[in-house]
Amino acid sequence: MGTLTLPFPSGRGTGRGGILGFLNGLADGIRDGLVLAARYDTLASKSDAELARLGLRREDIPRAALIGRRR
């Protein structure tokens, strides 16, 4: 059987920056999500012909938005 350890609610003793580290990571995640959503919206607004010029099909948009590359 393993042992489960949890950090203090204040973040003390985690060695990872505590609450400020958590908030920084949260802000980074939100920023990444907004960039991903903008990339998806940009690709989704293109016509099928424009996507084809980029080497994409409509069903490729989620993958292309996530990895940020063309095939």
Residue 16 counted as domain residue: no
pLDDT over 90, % of the chain: 66
Region 39-63: mean pLDDT is 96
Contacts (Cβ under 8 Å, ≥6 apart) of 54: 46, 70
Residue 61 lies inside a defined structural domain of this protein: yes
pLDDT cut 70: percent of the chain above it: 73
DSSP annotation string for 14-57: -SS-HHHHHHHHHHHHHHHHHHHHHHHHHHHTS-HHHHHHTT--
Burial of 39 (0-12, 13-18, 19+ CB in 10 A): middle
Average pLDDT over residues 10-39: 85
The tally of domains found in the chain comes to 1
Higher pLDDT, 2 or 29: 29
Residue 53 lies in a domain: yes
Domain assignment of residue 50, given as a range:
37-71
The token duo for 30 is 């939100």
